Amino acid sequence: MTTIVGKDAPLEQSIAHFQEILKNLKISVRESNWLNPLNDVYSVHLDIESCPSIYSNGKGSSRLAAQASAYGELFERLSTHMSFSDYYLGLDNSNAPYVHFKDEKWTVIDQNDPQIPNDVLNSSLRKFYSEGTDLNLEDLVDLQSSAFSRGVCSIPFTNARNGEVVYFPVNLLDNLYGSNGMSEGNTEYEALVQGLSEIIERYVKKEIIKRGLALPVIPDEILQKYEKSYNSLKTLQGDNLKVIAYDASLGGKFPVVCVVLFNQSNGTCFASFGAHPIFEVALDRTITELMQGRTFSDLDNFDEPDFDLERTSDIVNLESHFVDSTGILPMQMFRKIPDYKFVAWDFSGNTQEQYKALRYMIAKLGFDIYVRSYHELGVCVYRTIVPGMSEIYPVDDLVYNNTNSGIDFQDALLSLPGSEETVETYADYLDELESEDIDNDVLVCQLLGILPDPKSKWASLRMGELRCLIALAAKVYPSALTYAIWTVRYNQNDFSLDKLSFYQCLIKVLQCKTEGSLNEEDYLEGFELLYGKKTLQNVLDHVNGNARFNGLTASDLNLKGFKSHQELIRIYNIIKDAQEKDLKNDVPLENKDAKDNVEK
């Protein structure tokens, strides 16, 4: 059996446990994209065979470690339902006794007073999440239920400092935190340590990049104590590649390591961060994260560092660092004199002691920790939220960039291809869509929370193309021409030849319709020579109102015809049913431990 530092059970035992649960649930998974770019660096992609959009990625210093990592992440996403957070779950789930979890609570929206009531969040959190905005209950309806009539769904978390139970809206969790703070472990404390370590890692990473902090180099004599990691760093060094490990503890305050790879062939660099109370584990995670899903051929695709701190601290750049470390780094990170002295930090306690140490670090910063357990599938999974510290996305996204922004359009847009409306009605639809602050490049299915079938017409449909098709149905030819030109320019390299040809031909016909000097009849033979008889006839049918929506199929709120989405819902129902059957009545660990004095 293989044991590694920081884990409370052998890897083989963990993997077998994960696989047994999936087998009992009749969920088949597949491993792919195995990479081993360095002797002691492995990564793997894991997905559900019948629904590849449900996936995870694993990394580790051995094949078994990467495999266990991938399975653990998959169970984090299944147990917390994060794998389904971008999708509408259909009418049956929306109307079910509970949509997410048995302990959820619903708050009806009072149209005369949509302010957030006392039973959602607490007073300090309501103030934190609404500061500078007009956040109200309508902003907090979750995409999965899309049930404005039902209200806002919230689930309970426990304050680890004082045991207070606070209900967090599902929408708020989905919009602000992503996977940050989600963790799985062989034991409860192992999982909690992983979650807090991740939160601290990303907090420190954000601070370093926002402020352009220069970090001290970790001396070779320290690195040499950890043979596998040291050898990996040495292997990465080459004629044009330089790798440096930095102490990102900010003077010993946080258990964080940073490794930066410099590519001298193009003057670019990228950074990886890792955190854990045990230095060896933090270093290993940083190196495996650096190369996760990458080979040496992928190391040319990064950016030059920049002196402009406003640019590097921009929220979009910080989000890129969170997603895949592809953001721009501040040049100030590489100043000769670091902002902090090197500290040889390490922590040798067990996982319970590690957890208390991490809690103490966060408490000293003045933040509260909220924890929720998800043990129903037979795996120790936790979600930890630290308001003010663990947000991945800006708080004002709840008002200005909410994932629920397309709920009002679901029914109308899904049924639109099968509609038989008047020209005036389609013109009203166009006016309404144009009045909405939705960019042309937004994928319609993403806006609606739908998983389209690959290569279907819905899969590539963007708002600009949809506006074009509605303008055609409304016979508003100038608008149709504008959107057709945008559609061709934006999708030049993505559309099939047939689809691209349709819009290219459409542009020519609409130019004849809108420019008084051009007579359509004079050019029909030329159009046929350019695009073919079939394409030209299809375009003319759309322009003249004999055809609409270029092959889009109509659906409804039961997602009829969306096979991939139906399979996603089927998997969701399997997970939901299993959690209901296996739900334990014992007191979760965070309740038992909540009243520990974090200052001790």
Of 588, 576, 586, 585, which is closest to residue 165 (Cα–Cα)? 588
Residue 275, pLDDT > 90, answer yes
Q: Please report which confidence band the pLDDT of residue 587 belongs to, taking 50, 70 and 90 as the band edges.
A: very low
b/e sequence 458-489, b meaning 16+ C-beta within 10 Å: bebbbbbbbbbbbbbbbebbebbbbbbbbbbe
- The tokens describing 124, both together, are 């300090």
In sequence order, the β-bridge partners of residue 323 are none
Q: What is the dihedral of CA 474, 478, 483, 489, to 10 degrees?
A: 150
**How many Cβ atoms sit within 10 Å of the Cβ of residue 95?**
12
3-state DSSP assignment of residue 369 = coil
* Average pLDDT over every residue of 248-261: 98
* Average pLDDT over every residue of 435-457: 96
Predicted local confidence at residue 114, as pLDDT = 82
Residue 443, pLDDT > 50, answer yes
Walk me through the domains of the chain, giving residue ranges and CATH numbers.
12-85 (3.30.160.20), 184-365 (3.30.160.660), 420-551 (no CATH)
Q: What is the dihedral of CA 281, 316, 73, 64, to 10 degrees?
A: -50
**How many Cβ atoms sit within 10 Å of the Cβ of residue 33?**
11
Q: Please report which confidence band the pLDDT of residue 6 belongs to, taking 50, 70 and 90 as the band edges.
A: low
CA 69 to centroid of chain Cα atoms: 18
Predicted local confidence at residue 598, as pLDDT = 37
Predicted local confidence at residue 595, as pLDDT = 41
Distances (CA, A) of 349 to 331, 380, 445, 581, 594: 37, 21, 49, 36, 20
Predicted local confidence at residue 357, as pLDDT = 96
Q: Answer for the pair 382, 372: CB distance below 8 angstroms, yes or no.
A: yes
Distances (CA, A) of 600 to 222, 255, 360, 539, 597: 30, 19, 8, 74, 6
- The tokens describing 227, both together, are 């043979």
| Phi, psi torsion values for 326, nearest 5 degrees | -95, 5
- The tokens describing 206, both together, are 């954000």
Predicted local confidence at residue 4, as pLDDT = 58
What is the maximum span of the chain, computed from C-alpha positions, in angstroms? 87
In sequence order, the β-bridge partners of residue 259 are 245, 272
Residue 68, pLDDT > 50, answer yes
Q: How far apart are CA 340 and CA 39, in angstroms?
A: 33
Residue 584, pLDDT > 70, answer no
Q: Answer for the pair 89, 147: CB distance below 8 angstroms, yes or no.
A: no
Predicted local confidence at residue 589, as pLDDT = 43
Residue 544 CB-half CA count within 13 A: 8
Query: Percent of the chain scored above 70 by pLDDT?
Result: 96
**Burial class (CB within 10 angstroms; exposed 0-12, middle 13-18, buried 19+) of 99:** buried
What DSSP string runs through 410-451? Answer: HHHHHHGGG----HHHHHHHHHHHHHS---TTSBHHHHHT--
Predicted local confidence at residue 583, as pLDDT = 41
The sign of the torsion formed by the CA atoms of 16, 17, 21, 27 equals negative
Q: Looking at this protein, which amino acid is placed at residue 587?
A: V
Q: Looking at this protein, which amino acid is placed at residue 79?
A: S
Q: How far apart are CA 255 and CA 276, in angstroms?
A: 6
